[in-house]
Amino acid sequence: METDPNLLVGRETSDDAGVYKLRDDLALIQTLDFFTPIVNDPYRFGQIAAVNALSDIYAMGGQPLTAMNIVCFPKKTLDKSVLKEILKGGLQKIHEAGALLVGGHSVDDVELKYGLSITGIVHPDKIMTNAGARPGDHLILTKPIGTGIIATALKAKSASLEAEEAMISMMIQSNRSAAEAMQDIGAHGCTDITGFGLLGHSLEMATASKCGMTLYASRVPIIPYALKYAQMGLVPGGTHANRNFCHHSLNVDSGVSTYMLDILSDAQTSGGLLISIAQDRSSLLLKKLHERGLSEAVIIGEISGDSKDPFITVLP
Ligand code: CO
Ligand code: CO
Ligand code: CO
């Protein structure tokens, strides 16, 4: 493992991004993410990929400055106009974030992939890691979950237009205002919900913070139809892998259905922030989040106390 006094966040705690201190009042945040398309529309795929990549900067409490594109493109089988639309969507979200596109790299590949590397800054005292949760904290989730399941239904041509639109509008919604509200009110810890699902990223937070955690399944906001598609078995492989990975660290109440566990484990793209905040400040943060249009932000659980063996209790 890398050790350096200026390396404030490295790989040890499975956090969202690396953080390197430049000066006492300035640290650099770096992150990288890319993946295959999850929607058919190239412009919106570009938007989703950019919002997803920017999210790791926001999850660390930072401000994005510059972006670089990473492109794998099958130039023999796809028209160049598709790539143009993807990059246009990405650029729109980079600009919306107040950041600049400064470069990138593309290779010829059989499968299309797009993503970005983002560089941001943060004051070293304002860094939000996943290791900061404290016993007694409330856990706030800022966006509904279920994108992996709906994307799977979409691929199986079983998704309703309403579910597809709900999923896309969720994925292109930036975590910027949530992060700003979190910094205004002051939170203890944060991470964003992506590939390891709500349970996987919660477990990372519990482990890094050396705490236990209680989640209330019925409080977790879910994108319309995701529960129905989970019941139909439209669950991506990554979601089952997440469930198996978390299995030994979970204490699941018998009142929580298997479908609900699928949803809670569902691999997300461009998910919301999971924020750990002192109990007496959580209602103030919720109010701020709702004022900023994040109407589905809600308290989904709490940090249940120190635990030698990190675990999550899932209650109905
Ligand atoms: Co992340
Ligand atoms: Co990431
Ligand atoms: Co190059």
Mean pLDDT of 148-161: 95
Distance 254 CA to ligand 2 centre (A): 32
Quote the pLDDT of residue 306: 67
The mean pLDDT of the chain is 95
- When mean pLDDT is compared across 33-42, 237-246, 268-277, the lowest value belongs to 237-246
Distance 58 CA to ligand 2 centre (A): 11
Of the pLDDT bands very low, low, confident and very high (cuts 50, 70, 90), residue 103 is: very high
> Which ligand is closest in space to the CA of residue 272?
1
Distance 19 CA to ligand 2 centre (A): 14
pLDDT reading at 308 higher than 70:
no
pLDDT reading at 27 higher than 80:
yes
pLDDT reading at 248 higher than 90:
no
Distance 77 CA to ligand 1 centre (A): 32
pLDDT reading at 270 higher than 70:
yes
How far apart CA 145 and CA 149 sit, in angstroms, is 9
How far apart CA 199 and CA 171 sit, in angstroms, is 19
pLDDT reading at 223 higher than 70:
yes
pLDDT reading at 309 higher than 80:
no
This prediction's pTM: 0.95
Distance 106 CA to ligand 3 centre (A): 7
Delineate the domains of the chain, giving CATH numbers in brackets: 7-126 (3.30.1330.10), 138-315 (3.90.650.10)
Distance 53 CA to ligand 2 centre (A): 6
Strand partners, 121: 28, 63
What HEC string does the chain produce?
Answer: CCCCCCEEECCCCCCCCEEEEEECCEEEEEEEEEECCCCCCHHHHHHHHHHHHHHHHHHCCCEEEEEEEEEEECCCCCCHHHHHHHHHHHHHHHHHCCCEEEEEEEEECCCCEEEEEEEEEECHHHCCCCCCCCCCCEEEECCCECHHHHHHHHHCCCCCHHHHHHHHHHHCCCCHHHHHHHHHHCCCEEEECCCCHHHHHHHHHHHHHCEEEEEEHHHCCECCCHHHHHHCCCCCHHHHHHHHHHHHHEEECCCCCHHHHHHHHCCCCCCCEEEEECHHHHHHHHHHHHHCCCCCCEEEEEEEEECCCCCEEEEC
How far apart CA 27 and CA 74 sit, in angstroms, is 37
Distance 33 CA to ligand 2 centre (A): 5
Quote the pLDDT of residue 243: 87
- From 265, 290, 293, select the one nearest 146 (Cα to Cα): 265
Q: What percent of the chain has pLDDT over 90?
A: 92
CB atoms under 10 Å from CB of 173, counted, come to: 18
> Which ligand is closest in space to the CA of residue 103?
3
> Which ligand is closest in space to the CA of residue 130?
1
Mean pLDDT of 286-301: 97
Q: Give residue-wise pLDDT tens across range 57-71.
A: 999 999 999 999 999
Distance 71 CA to ligand 3 centre (A): 11
Q: Give residue-wise pLDDT tens across range 186-209.
A: 999 999 999 999 999 999 999 999
Quote the pLDDT of residue 1: 77
Mean pLDDT of 249-256: 94
pLDDT reading at 279 higher than 80:
yes
How far apart CA 146 and CA 142 sit, in angstroms, is 13
